[in-house]
Amino acid sequence: MGKIIFLLSICISFSAISQECSDKKTEAEMYQCISDLYEKSDVELNSVYKKKMVELDSINIHGEGADIKPVSFFLKKNQQAWIKMRDTDCDLETYESMTGSGYATIYKSCLLKKTNERVKFLNSQFY
């Protein structure tokens, strides 16, 4: 019964992430595919984040001499908190699969999903 639940959680996690990896037959192939997608997503996240930071650094909505931190300061704090939240969310969401052979793939799928969501969020914020 435990193996069925484990395989079901892999399939649900996997199918929710990408059709790009749906043709993979082995755990190793699935893991590599998800890892490649995650790496691309992480690069995109870093690019979007840096772009937003540059945009926000150039904005001073409070005028010269105001003793208020720029909005980029708060985006940086938010991003740092989001990384911790993403990791602990994935720890919690994948807890039941921790002892299974597919855990790494399930965990990486969670990171990919949350990173893609963050990219969309950052792209929708600010300017």
CATH number at residue 90: 1.20.1270.180
* pLDDT (tens digit per residue) in 69-80: 888 899 999 999
Q: Please report the pLDDT score of residue 29 as a whole number.
A: 92
Residue 18, C-beta contacts closer than 8 angstroms, at least 6 positions apart: 33, 34, 37, 112
d(CA 95, CA 20): 25
Q: Please report the pLDDT score of residue 43 as a whole number.
A: 98
As for how many domains the chain has, the answer is: 1
Q: In which domain, by residue range, is 53 found?
A: 2-18+26-59+68-124
Region 96-114: mean pLDDT is 93
Region 12-28: mean pLDDT is 72
